[in-house]
Amino acid sequence: MTRTASVTGPILSLFGTPLKLFQFLAGLSPRLDAKSLNGEVQKWAVRQGGKCEADRWRPITVCYGLEKGEHFGDGGTTIGNTFLNDVPPSELRKEVLYHELQHTTQFEFYYKKFNFWPTFLVYYTYGTGLSRGCANVYEREADLQGNLYHC
């Protein structure tokens, strides 16, 4: 383990950031277009032991069979149009899938406006680590129907 990884791991765990996902994303070029990024995330999920299934009706791919805290945070993590979690799509509640679809829209917006890596870093350190649920602006935006957090 490098010195950077040995210092970074404990710091990231304080913020609830999934370490393996963080390390993977840190190695990607911030210049990847959204389609290439989605492909890379899905290939990574499969290399980590997950399976990925594209939704037939909605623009989202669910990669499941992954480990919470290592590959995704809390109930799942959406990168681009890829939702990383431990539950197969057939077992996801429709409210969860709708909520994650809202995150794909957010990601597209922030990806176009900013460099991918800083956007992700801000999302994970502020968004998931320091404020969760209704206190997290990204989660409030994605919970427009009030089906998950009841903000």
Task: Give residue limits of the domains in the chain.
Answer: 3-142
How confident is the model over 43-73, as pLDDT tens digits? 999 999 999 999 988 899 999 999 998 898 8
Q: Which two tokens stand for residue 79?
A: 């990168």
Residue percentage of the chain with pLDDT more than 90: 27
pTM: 0.81
Any idea which of 2-16, 21-35, 98-112 has the lowest mean pLDDT? 2-16
Q: Which of 21, 7, 10, 23 is nearest to 50 (CA)?
A: 21
Average pLDDT in the 121-134 region?
Answer: 58
Residue 119: which residues within 8 A CB-CB, separation 6 or more?
110, 111, 113
More reliable by pLDDT, 41 or 25: 41
Q: How far is CA 76 from CA 25, 103, 151, in A?
A: 16, 11, 19
What 3-state class would DSSP assign to 1?
A: coil
Degrees to nearest 5, angle at CA 43 with 38 and 48: 125
Residue 138: which residues within 8 A CB-CB, separation 6 or more?
103, 106, 123, 127
pLDDT band at 108 (very low <50, low <70, confident <90, very high): confident
Q: pLDDT at residue 17 above 60?
A: yes
- Secondary-structure breakdown of the chain: helix, strand, coil percentages, each rounded to the nearest 5: 55, 10, 35
The pLDDT assigned to 95 comes to 86
